[in-house]
Structure 1
Amino acid sequence: MSEATALLTAHGFAALPVIDEQGCVVGMLSESDALAAGPGIPDKTVEAAMSTPVEVVTPTTDTATIASRMLTGRLRSMPVVAAGLLVGIVARRDLLRILLSDDATIDAKIRALLDDYAGSGR
């Protein structure tokens, strides 16, 4: 659990997707989950602290739908899943950046990020 909390804080993530051995999203560990787990509980596992079920989106989900689901569910981030496997994560901050960019720039950035994450194996 301390390793996951260190990842959250070191990189400024609001939440981390938790995946199983096959790469399927099984939970989300948020800052709130980590706080609720409490300090000094070394035997607490990520599985015991994570939130389930997980709301996911696909790479083709439009941004308006993502924004609506985030606002309705009070979510700060959502895993992006293709063919049942984690391919990325979208955060509120990503949606805010869209308001400042044109469509072609956004499309190119998203494709580059997905290619980097998937090792250009899409």
Structure 2
Amino acid sequence: MRQVTPLLLLVALLVHLVSSKDLVVGTRVNNLLISTEKVVVKGYPLIRRDKDYTYTDPKQRSIKGIIARDLNRSEAEVTVTDGGLGSSHVTLHLKSPRGEGLNYLILIFTNNS
């Protein structure tokens, strides 16, 4: 019984992570949050919505973590198209499923120094 419980928790965690379309790159542990932005795009029937989000750090700090959380819990997808970890800028491409909009919370982290 003791071995079954951790296995069940691990399987439940993996199922949750696989079903989620959130983007998590790098780490936020012991890092400083430098940007919080909400991206909202209205959906239209039968149309897939695309949106590019670009962040450039005015202090030229290196990005150590990026989290793009889908607040609608939909099948939308996010990809990094430019910059990212180790760079001072990032461009994210957000793509909604047909007939739905986008509702994302984007968090950018840098070194805590």
**TM-score normalised by length of structure 1:** 0.26
* Larger strand share, 1 or 2: 2
- Relative to its length, the structure with more helix (as a share) is 1
**What is the TM-score normalised by the length of structure 2?**
0.27
